[in-house]
A and B are shown apart, each in its own frame.
Chain A
C-alpha cells in the first residue's frame, strides 16, 4: 500500500492530468498538489500525486551515500 511510484507530469488539466514512467502513461489527480509544472516528477499513490520529488535532494542523498561508502 505504500507503493508510491515516481512518475513525470506530462499533462495538466485543472485538477487532473497525465503522468508517465518508462513509457507507461496514466491518469492522475492533482488535487493534493500545489504549483505543479509539466516535467515535475511526483509520487503517485492510489491515483493521486501526493508529493513532488526534489531533484536536488535526490542528488544530495546519492552523493551522501557514495561518500559514506568511501
Chain B
C-alpha cells in the first residue's frame, strides 16, 4: 500500500533501532509517554520494545477517547436508548464500554435500537431516511474526529433535519497533557505527540510543554518507522522543543478549515476523564445556536452519580503510573470478552493491547 509499506521496511526499522541504541546515554532512563491508542497498539504490534534499548521506557498515556469516557456518559446514552423512537448511532468500540449497570451492547441485545456507524455522516443519513425516528449520535473522539461531527451538525442545521442530535462526549488533548505534566506523581521526560490530532490543531498548542515544563516533544506518525524516527528525534534533542516527525501529513499550522468547523459548532468546557478526574477546558459542548442538535438538552436525561468498579486501576494505567500487569483483575475477571474497565474494552486501550500482545 502506498505510503504505508515503505514505512514498514524491516531492514530500515532495524537500522534505525540500532541508531537509537547508539544515541542514548547508558547512565539514564528515558521516560517517553505516548498519548494515542494507535501508538500504543502499533508499538506492540510491530514489537518495537524488543528492539529498543532497555533504558527507553515507553509509557501509554490517556490516548484512547473511548477509554477516558466516564461511566455517566454510557449511562446517559443507555437512558436515551430506552426512549421511544430513538436510534442510537455510535462508533463500534463504544458498544462494550461498561456503564454503571449495563452496556450499549447488552441493551442492544435487549432490543434497544443501537447501530454501529463508521461516520457521523452515516448517522445523519439514517436520520434522513427514517423521519419517524430520533437519531442520536454518540460524539466520542479527540480533535481528529471532532471536525467530522461538526460537519454533520452543520449539515443537519442547513437542511433543517429535525430528528438528528449528538450526545457530546468529545475531549481535547492539550489541556489533559497540561494536567499530566502538572501532576506530581508522573515522571515523564518527553512525549510522542499524536500525529492525527496534530493534523487538525497544528504544533502551536503543544509549545507550553517544552517552553514551560521542559518536556521534549515530537509529533509522530503511526507506522513503525515513524515511531522509531520520533523516538530518535526525542533522544537527540539537546534542548526541549516541539518537533514534527510526521511532515508528510501534518502542517505546523494544522487544518484551518477543520478548526473553523469545530469553533463554529463547539465551545470549551471542563470535562471528566475516566481515571484522571476533572480537567479544565478539556471538553467540548455544543454551542447554544445549535442547541436543538444537542441530545443532552433535547432529552434532558439525568443519571445518578456513577461508581467505577472496585479493583479496576484503569485510572492509574491511563496516567502511565501502572501497567495492566499490575492490576489484580487483568486477564482474570477482566478480559476483552468480559471487560471491567474501559482500557480493556477499546480495541486501542492499553489493557487490550497488553492482553493481546503481552500476557
Q: Which residues of A contact B (CB under 8 A)?
A: 1-4, 6, 8, 21-22, 29, 31-34, 41, 43, 45-48, 50-55, 57-58, 60-62, 64-66, 68-70
Contact = CB atoms under 8 A, between A and B. Distances in A.
B118 A50 contact: no
A50 B38 contact: no
A62 B164 CA distance: 45
A70 B147 CA distance: 41
A69 B16 contact: yes
18 contacts: A1-B64, A1-B65, A1-B144, A1-B145, A1-B348, A2-B37, A2-B194, A2-B348, A4-B222, A6-B4, A31-B257, A32-B151, A45-B144, A50-B258, A51-B250, A53-B3, A54-B248, A60-B247
B269 to A, nearest CB: 21
Chain A interface, DSSP helix/strand/loop, else mixed = mixed
B200 interface: yes
A60 B257 CA distance: 26
B261 A50 contact: no
Contacts of B63: 2
Given A1-B38, A32-B257, A53 B248 contact: yes
Interface residues of B, number: 54
Given A33-B257, A41-B2, A47-B119, A1 B151 contact: no
Nearest to A68: B19
Contact of A65 (B16, B39, B65, B194): B16
Given A1-B66, A51-B199, A6 B255 contact: no
B308 interface: no
Contacts of B151: 29, 31-32, 48
B248 A2 contact: no
Contacts of A66: 12
Contacts of B194: 2
Contacts of A45: 144-145, 148, 196
A10 B66 CA distance: 32
B144 A69 contact: no
Contacts of B4: 6
Contact of B255 (A32, A47, A53, A57): A32
Given A41-B3, A48-B151, 7 more contacts: A1-B65, A2-B37, A46-B91, A50-B144, A53-B249, A65-B12, A69-B19
B43 interface: no
Contacts of A41: 2-3
A65 B38 CA distance: 22
A23 B93 CA distance: 26
B2 to A, nearest CB: 7
A51 B19 CA distance: 31
A1 B141 contact: yes
Contact of B148 (A43, A48, A62, A65): A48
A47 B121 contact: yes
A69 B12 contact: yes
Interface string B199-212: 11000000000000
Contacts of B119: 29, 46-48
Nearest to B39: A2
A18 to B, nearest CB: 14
B52 to A, nearest CB: 15
B142 interface: yes
A50 B199 CA distance: 8
Contacts of A54: 247-249
B126 interface: no
Interface in B292-320: none
